[in-house]
Structure 1
Amino acid sequence: MSNARVLAVDLGKTGCRLTLHAPEGVREGEGPGVVGLAGVDGVRQVESAVERAARDAGLGSDDRVDVVSIGLVGYHAAASLREELGRRLARRWAGIVVLASDVTTTHVGAFDGGPGVVMAAGTGAVALALDEDGRSAIRDGWGFLLGDDGSGYAVGRAGLRAALSQVEGRAGGSAALAEKAQARWGELVSVPAVVHGDEHPARVVASFARDVLAAAQEGDEIARQIWIDAGRALAETALAAREAVGAELPVSLAGGLAGAGEILTESFAAAVGSGVQAAVGSSLDGARRLGELVLGDGIPTHLRELLTVVESAGAPAGSGLGRLATEGAREDLLDLDQRSTADVLRELWTAEATVPTALLTLVPEVAEVVDEVADRLAAGGRMFYVGAGTPGRLAYVDAGELPPTFGTDPELVQALTAGGTKALLRAAEGAEDDADAGERAVLDADVGAGDVVVGLTASGRTPFVISALQAAKARGALTVGMSGNAGAEVSGFADHAIEVVTGPEVISGSTRLMAGTAQKLFLNALSTATMIRLGKTYGPYMVDMRATNHKLRHRAIRMVTRVTGCSADEAERALEQADWSTKVAIVTLLRSVSPADARGLLEDNRGSVRAALEVEA
């Protein structure tokens, strides 16, 4: 341990603090915070925040450490992104990455890894109770709109309300707070615009907590009462967490607000009663301690379920199905079958809601795939989806919807599934393990060098899919492997590896849930974006749609009227003359040419309406 290099990071909404503990000494750095891992482009935001703080500490692009240990905001709300973040950080920094919620590292720092209740109070507020048997409870942390009682935001908001009340002559106003608000922002009439116009309004409001503290220390009674109320609110949250665990645990106030002075700490201690103790260390100390533990004696049992550890250049430690994130079990759902139906639905949909965020981190990778697929299809190639079970059924759905939606030949995009079409209605047990069948499916489809094969597998190790990709690659086809785990086996057999790490399912191992949603959204986006690149749309309109029934003919008429500005009668006549081709009707009307000439313009411009309209006559 004495020669180990431990990079510890405390990343919150307000800022990022970092320390490197190494044989040559300690380096410190800091930088801006992030909204949270669950925010838009959360993985890259976290990566960027760590990099900036590292540069501030004097670390360069070639620096490596033994372990990176991070306590970060948004950890609990973004389960599906943890493995992806760990993999990226491991690739950049270390062979081992430890990820935890910032409240977990605050707890470890406060109690040096032991049991207790920590009330972490900064811009937000959340309590974590943890006993020696691993039972845990989290209270509050709902964010500034719904919770964070007693937080820096709550104090700042109460102070601003008192300042604004003073200006308006309402009860509860404070001249001292109005003066401090004016010193910070100028005329108070501009404060709402400053707050609501900021990208992170909670931070702006929380920044006023310092002024509220100064006013309280200068003797303003309203400011003092705000801090007293904050202490009581924080105590209520801490006690609720302790009661949920059912053990007489020590309680500690920690986080940025813990240093706010005696008014807060005395109010907090009085409301808690006995058992209050000072924090041993900070959240940054807790992150460092976790890094040391994973390198030394190992993470204690009672902490393991609160952490994500990624090893060996990003691959999770160990091997085998039981180690895959998609096969994990959520310890917070051990009572799921005892919960109300409404609670079950909330858990299911909350989990599903994390999937789009995970996909958004992969936009550059998927965009590259789309462009390559479009080039091959435009040159006469085909695309094949390969899957077993749920991925196979989703493959059939997506491939089958393309001809009526975009007017494509059914041969353009096809599904090759384990067990064949009969597996659509009834699960074909064991079919996914038939590697020979995967190879035969590719050979029977006569996949060639101009084609694309997309393998779909939640686990990332389905033999049918891997064998199909191997056979396709041997024939020169472009191969794409889409999986639900970091460092997936299938990624090694694909030209493009798309790893959407959705994490443990609500029902452990039931990958028709989050993993299935990821596959459906991926296929939707892959095929739709490809069709857009192939000129199958004009703006948001599906102008290559086949108007094969009454509903679709009315849709075609509406599209033509909206694009060209003509009347419904004119649109219908143009469509009839164009054999109900929306594309031909639009070009006919906007270019004032015959349907035959419109078809010629479209053929000369790879079927693109926009190109046919813009080409010189």
Structure 2
Amino acid sequence: MRKIVAVDAGGTSSRAVVLEASGDCRGFGRAGAGNPTAVGIEAAVEALGLAVARALGDRLGDTDAESLVVIALAGAETPEFVQRLGSRFAGLGLGGTVAIEPDLLGTFCSGTALEHGYAVIAGTGAIAARVSDGRIHTVRGGSGWLLGDTGSGFWIGHLVARTVVAALDGIGRPTALTGLLLEATGIERTSAKHRGRAEELTRLEHALYALQPVELARFAPLAFEAVDDPVGREILDAAAEGIARILAAAVQTDVSGAVVLGGSVLAAGMERAPAIFTHRLRAAAGDAQLIPVADGVVGAAVLALRRLGIRVDARLHRHLTGEIDRARGEAVAQ
């Protein structure tokens, strides 16, 4: 029987499932970051291979020259990445087709069986897309931490860091974010000074400058912890506004349908600060239904089945989602 494998290659973690044409799920595997832009080709290939190997389980190594592997991936893939990935999968017995699809499409298809609508991902970065006839039609945002991505995890984390540094320096407002960031960086509060400046400020600056810029995204959750703090709330207000602006730029009045939301920022926003995020997103998308999803692995599975000519309607989509949730839970319990 032909092996069907679907993979969501994330910048933090990757998930893989083994499917049957019926939508039944026969295995689930998880591993580290599978995005070559985030971690490099070698590490990404290894992580994706490990996730797929775990999903295959006792089917690992059974050669299948007609296998299909569909990967939902952010960014552009290079020929070297595709070649090394094919070799890695061949070593797992998957000698057939390897297809790479946009992570935005994987996110959209994770939330709905519709072929028209919108997808928004706000995690480390922020990006939105209009989906038409089951394909990506228009993309907005996604310019990266240096040039854009307003409202992203990096953008929030960077603003948290700047806000706390200003507060400690006496040129910004006091905020609950200060204690949270000092705790997150392992710096103790002290009244001591170093060359006329607060010692904890000097230590914090050293700690932050030791990071790669994009690593500031790790501090984005602190803003959600401080949602009741006026400064923390202002940061989240501005983040939600930025994400909504990216979505609004992708919206066309002639394209209706659901808005599927993915990424850690939107997951936290819809759960911990819905009053801030929900109405802005609805206003940007014309009051369309908002559907949060945990990741893009269901969507990758939908795209795999569609490549085989299988129509994924609402019933099959529900079945597929339930099967993957079941397999995910079983994998976690092991």
Higher RCO, 1 vs 2 (CA within 8 Å, ≥6 residues apart): 2
Q: 1:205 corresponds to which letter in structure 2? A: L
Q: CA deviation at 1:126?
A: 1.0
Amino acid aligned to 1:27 = G
Distance 1:85 1:55, change over 3 A: closer
**Structure 1 partner of 2:163:** 162
Determine the structure 2 residue equivalent to 1:12.
Answer: 10
Please show how residues 554-565 of structure 1 align to structure 2 within 5 Å.
none
Compared CA separation, residues 180 and 63, structure 1 to 2 (3 A):
farther
CA apart distance, 1:185: 0.4
* Contact 1:232-1:271 within 8 A present in 2 as well: no
Post-superposition offset of 1:96: 2.5
Residue aligning to 1:288: 301
Distance 1:228 1:39, change over 3 A: closer
Partner of 2:222: 211
Q: Distance in 1 between matches of 2:137 and 2:45?
A: 29
Superposed CA offset, 1:591-610 (max 9, x none): xxxxxxxxxxxxxxxxxxxx
Deviation at 1:140, TM superposition (A): 1.1
CA contact (8 A) 1:236 1:271 kept: no
Tell me, what secondary structure is at the counterpart of 1:175? coil
Give me the whole-angstrom Cα distance separating, in 2, the residues matched to 1:84 and 1:71. Answer: 17
Distance change >3 Å, CA 181–CA 39, structure 1 → 2: closer
| Amino acid paired to 1:268 | R
**Aligned partners of 1:276 and 1:50: how far apart in 2?**
34
How far apart are the structure 2 equivalents of 1:13 and 1:135? 20
CA distance in 1, matches of 2:134, 2:242: 28
Alignment of 1:222 onto 2:231: yes
Query: Secondary structure of 1:30's partner?
Result: strand
Distance 1:38 1:269, change over 3 A: closer
Output the CA distance in 1 between the equivalents of 2:292 and 2:306: 17
1:322-341 to 2 correspondences below 5 Å: none
**TM-score (normalizing by structure 2):** 0.74
Q: Tell me if the contact between 1:107 and 1:128 (Cα under 8 Å) persists in the aligned partners.
A: no
Q: Which residue does the alignment assign to 2:32?
A: 32
Instruction: Tell me the residue number matched to 1:234.
Output: 243
Relative to 1, partners in 2 of residues 1:21 and 1:265: Cα closer, same or farther, differing over 3 Å?
A: farther
Q: Please say if residues 73 and 102 of structure 2, whose CA atoms lie closer than 8 Å, have aligned partners that are also in contact.
A: yes
Q: Work out which of the residue numbers 48, 51, 67 in structure 2 matches 1:50.
A: 48
Native 8 Å contact 2:120 2:128 kept in 1: yes
User: Between Structure 1 and Structure 2, which shows a larger proportion of strand residues?
Assistant: 2
Deviation at 1:124, TM superposition (A): 0.9
Aligned pairs (5 A) from 1:46-195: 46-54=44-52, 59=57, 62=61, 66-74=67-75, 76=76, 78=77, 80-81=79-80, 83-84=82-83, 87-93=86-92, 94=94, 95-112=96-113, 114-132=115-133, 136-171=137-172, 173-187=173-187, 188-195=201-208
Could you tell me how far 1:92 is from its partner in structure 2? 3.4
Show structure 1 runs of 5+ residues with no match: 300-617
Rg (Cα) greater in structure: 1
TM-score (normalizing by structure 1): 0.42
| Pairwise CA RMSD | 3.2
1:109/1:280 contact within 8 Å kept: no
Judged with a 3 Å threshold, the aligned counterparts in structure 2 of structure 1 residues 264 and 19 are, in CA distance, closer, same or farther, namely: farther
- With over 3 angstroms needed to count, the CA separation of the structure-2 counterparts of 1:240 and 1:90, relative to structure 1, is same
CA distance, structure 1, for counterparts of residue 219 and residue 234 of structure 2: 15
2:278 is aligned with 1:266: yes
- How many residues align? The count is 288
The separation in 1 between residues aligned to 2:106 and 2:234, in whole angstroms, is 30
Shift in Å, 1:196:
4.0
Aligned to 1:182, the other structure's residue is in SS state helix
Distance 2:8 2:168 in 1: 39
Q: SS at the partner of 1:207?
A: helix
Distance 1:38 1:69 in 2: 18
Equivalent positions of 1:417-432 (< 5 A) are: none
Separation in 1, partners of 2:38, 2:285: 37
Please report how far the alpha carbon of residue 141 of structure 1 lies from its aligned counterpart in structure 2 after TM superposition. Answer: 0.9
> Alignment partner of 1:50: what SS?
helix
SS of the residue aligned with 1:136? strand
What is the deviation of 1:286? Answer: 0.4
1:86/1:98 contact within 8 Å kept: no
SS at match of 1:59: helix
Q: Give unmatched runs, 5+ long, in structure 2.
A: 188-200, 313-334
Which residue number corresponds to residue 435 of structure 1?
none
Structure-2 separation of matches of 1:107 and 1:161: 34
Q: Identity of paired residues, percent?
A: 23
- Deviation, 1:195, is 4.1
Q: Give 1:26 deviation, angstroms.
A: 4.4
* Paired amino acid for 2:240: G
